[in-house]
Structure 1
């Protein structure tokens, strides 16, 4: 009987210690579950997607810290119970005494609170399942709308984000309700409710961002689908480049408003919320300035569009002047946007502009080269010295003009290299694209050649070239003997060609002259090396 009594005592001790440790483990499991919900809510934010691995690493570290604390506290509980046994105290009686110290009303309130929490958890689980099914059906219907496939990815992302937000929001609300329901913890509910409001604000903001992405992609796809030359959507192809800018601007505005509302919930930094509307105004001004720049470019292009009756010279002038007018309107719009931004920041632009005027005078005195470049650029344009697509030659570059700015000119040489020259540096300009130019070809013949025959062959070759090449304006003219060389007679020919076509025609004419001389037996001399040996030809050298 004594053995059974000892066994019963051991079982009582094990039950008490086990219950205490189990209760401790359940508490830590609940804390870990709450931490998991918080990190899921944080990880669902699009702004933190790029840091998803880091967030998961932090969560795992917190999990291991909780496990260590739970293990340490469990050992402490067992050690404390061992100490009570050493003091020859009854563990069950000691625990019952501590429990009886708690008022019965508190136990009733605690039990009712736990029952409410269990009911709310069950209701939340069922609600999440129902909501998930509804969102899946809405996702399928949205993808099938108008048969547009371009926005399927955005729609799916939107509904996935919506499900995560609703799910995390429900569980967070359950947690806040549980803390509010349990006795002695209701004081924490006000702080948790602030956290809940911040989460709701951020979640709704991210939901609106997803909605903006879906709507913009859908409208973009619909506009492309129904655009035709007969309706106003014919201009959409020119404005479609603004779609990404529009989308980013809306997202930034939403982010700023979300941040402003979050700051307003935190009392000690709530005064910073006044800067939110100012930032939104700045974003709107920057976006609208970009819109006006694109619209002005479109209007300028429509105004300068060439017609079937436009000559090549007129088209060149249009291509030359149009970028300059675009630049003028672009900088004017950005300047106005800058003034509006200063006003949005409650800064008087008059003072800054007056100071900028004084600084501009000082800088202008030291920037005479810049002023010289700008003035030279105006004279190049107004005096029609050269235009875009003209073939010109300067002291430092030669090639086709790709662009003329107020300060510089871009020239692409025959080797494909781009020369960017300041307008003030362009001196001694030779323009090969004014009316006509000459393709000059000089060819050498042997001293014993019949020059009359050579002239006749060159003349016939020039006529043949004129018939084959539409860039040739007149047949090749043989100017005559240009020079007596060391081993050749140099004959000079010129061919009048269209502007800027002299290099291509010269290459083609040289090829035809070589072929004609080969047919007629006319020798084109070339350098030869002659070795003279005073003692005769050495053995082994052929002769």
Structure 2
């Protein structure tokens, strides 16, 4: 008599989720209070861990910034070119450390989250089997990027702030990371180049550069007079531009790629100032030649004006005598 009574009492305490008694018995077999408490605990732990790693990330980035900022300020007080090169090196290492630090923080954050959720990360990594092989094959590009970036940095091929040409992309190095190198072009475009795709690097910031200035002329132009005027401009501007190294040279008459003639001048200048020096001297040359009354072609090809056409022989009127009857 006691057993049916107990069963009736237990059935009365069951929570009826649906009209199906089997589903109700199955759902009532779970300890929902414990599940809710565990879930709440894990969510709170994940949130606290995320906040902790966020604080660690900001504090670490701040420490790295202050260390390199103070070193950069000290080097900026010295105008020595060697110090300037050291500043570029510091910016490159700073960019790399920031990039690597972010990857480390993200890795440990993900590892902590998975551990809190009860996922055996170590066991998964050790027993992944074919998945590890697939991940390894997919990560070949990532590893290649890191290895290529390591050699680029260790050999000091490029540094932040330098003017370079990488794979036909011209601009200034904005950042050097573990996976990509960022190049900002003259028009402001930020180019991301994977390190493994870098096949050729032309560094335009190492040493002095030579800029060529071509003054196009016509075949009947007074070449000697033009060269004399350009030499006079070089003498007048001597010592006025600290970016110019040595004395500019007037090579003389040369053929350009399009077949036109030009009087060419060569100027050696400091790296990074070649565009300004070229524009300055080109303006001075053209102004002096215009003041001397020398005409220069308006385009690479000089088009001769058409001659006055002559009427064809058939259209020329011929006077024929005729007799009046």
> Does TM, scored on the shorter chain, surpass 0.5?
yes
Q: Which residue of 2 aligns with 1:414?
A: 186
Q: Which residue of 1 aligns with 2:315?
A: none
Larger relative helix fraction: 1
- C-alpha distance 447-426 of structure 1, shift in aligned 2 (>3 A): same
- C-alpha distance 365-444 of structure 1, shift in aligned 2 (>3 A): same
How far apart, CA to CA, are the structure 2 residues paired with 1:459 and 1:374? 52
Please give the residue correspondences for 1:262-281 in structure 2 after superposition, counting only pairs within 5 Å.
269-271=32-34, 272-281=36-45
What secondary structure sits across from 1:455 in the alignment? helix
Whether the 8 Å contact between 2:245 and 2:270 is mirrored in structure 1 is yes
Give 1:487 shift.
Answer: 8.5
How far apart, CA to CA, are the structure 2 residues paired with 1:455 and 1:360? 71
Highest relative contact order (Cα 8 Å, sep 6+), 1 or 2? 2
Q: Which residue of 2 aligns with 1:520?
A: 292
Give 1:529 shift.
Answer: 4.9
How far apart, CA to CA, are the structure 1 residues paired with 2:235 and 2:199? 37
Q: Aligned to 2:196, which of 404, 407, 424?
A: 424
Question: Deviation digits for residues 436-478 of structure 1, max 9, x if unmatched?
Answer: 2122222222333443432333234345555443332333222
What secondary structure sits across from 2:49 in the alignment? helix
Q: Which residue of 2 aligns with 1:293?
A: 57
Q: Aligned to 2:46, which of 269, 282, 295?
A: 282
How far apart, CA to CA, are the structure 2 residues paired with 1:515 and 1:420? 42
Q: Which residue of 1 aligns with 2:229?
A: 457
Q: Which residue of 1 aligns with 2:10?
A: none
What secondary structure sits across from 1:419 in the alignment? strand
How far apart, CA to CA, are the structure 2 residues paired with 1:512 and 1:328? 50
Give 1:488 shift.
Answer: 5.2
Question: Deviation digits for residues 199-255 of structure 1, max 9, x if unmatched?
Answer: xxxxxxxxxxxxxxxxxxxxxxxxxxxxxxxxxxxxxxxxxxxxxxxxxxxxxxxxx
How far apart, CA to CA, are the structure 2 residues paired with 1:302 and 1:320? 15
Q: Which residue of 2 aligns with 1:371?
A: 143
Give 1:435 shift.
Answer: 1.4
How far apart, CA to CA, are the structure 2 residues paired with 1:459 and 1:268? 97
- C-alpha distance 275-525 of structure 1, shift in aligned 2 (>3 A): same
Q: Which residue of 1 aligns with 2:113?
A: 341
Q: Which residue of 2 aligns with 1:530?
A: 305
Q: Aligned to 1:510, which of 275, 279, 282?
A: 282
- C-alpha distance 436-345 of structure 1, shift in aligned 2 (>3 A): same
What secondary structure sits across from 1:434 in the alignment? coil
Question: Deviation digits for residues 330-388 of structure 1, max 9, x if unmatched?
Answer: 22122222222233223333113325686454333345444333322222111111111
Q: Which residue of 2 aligns with 1:492?
A: 264
How far apart, CA to CA, are the structure 1 residues paired with 2:152 and 2:188? 24
Q: Which residue of 2 aligns with 1:481?
A: 253
- C-alpha distance 384-356 of structure 1, shift in aligned 2 (>3 A): farther
Q: Which runs of 5+ in 1 are unaligned?
A: 1-266, 538-543
* Greater C-alpha radius of gyration: 1
- C-alpha distance 358-477 of structure 1, shift in aligned 2 (>3 A): farther
Q: Which residue of 2 aligns with 1:303?
A: 67
- C-alpha distance 349-370 of structure 1, shift in aligned 2 (>3 A): closer
Q: Which runs of 5+ in 2 are unaligned?
A: 1-29, 313-325
What secondary structure sits across from 1:406 in the alignment? coil
* TM-score when normalising by structure 2: 0.73
Please give the residue correspondences for 1:28-47 in structure 2 after superposition, counting only pairs within 5 Å.
none
What secondary structure sits across from 2:111 in the alignment? helix
How far apart, CA to CA, are the structure 2 residues paired with 1:398 and 1:296? 33
Is 2:220 the counterpart of 1:448? yes
How far apart, CA to CA, are the structure 1 residues paired with 2:125 and 2:238? 63
What secondary structure sits across from 2:295 in the alignment? coil
How far apart, CA to CA, are the structure 1 residues paired with 2:234 and 2:295? 19
- C-alpha distance 358-325 of structure 1, shift in aligned 2 (>3 A): farther
Larger relative strand fraction: 2
Whether the 8 Å contact between 2:99 and 2:178 is mirrored in structure 1 is no
Is 2:312 the counterpart of 1:312? no
Give 1:433 shift.
Answer: 0.6
In the alignment of these two chains, the number of paired residues is: 271
How far apart, CA to CA, are the structure 2 residues paired with 1:288 and 1:358? 35
* TM-score when normalising by structure 1: 0.45
Q: Which residue of 2 aligns with 1:38?
A: none
Whether the 8 Å contact between 1:445 and 1:522 is mirrored in structure 2 is no
Q: Which residue of 2 aligns with 1:470?
A: 242
How far apart, CA to CA, are the structure 2 residues paired with 1:280 and 1:400? 46
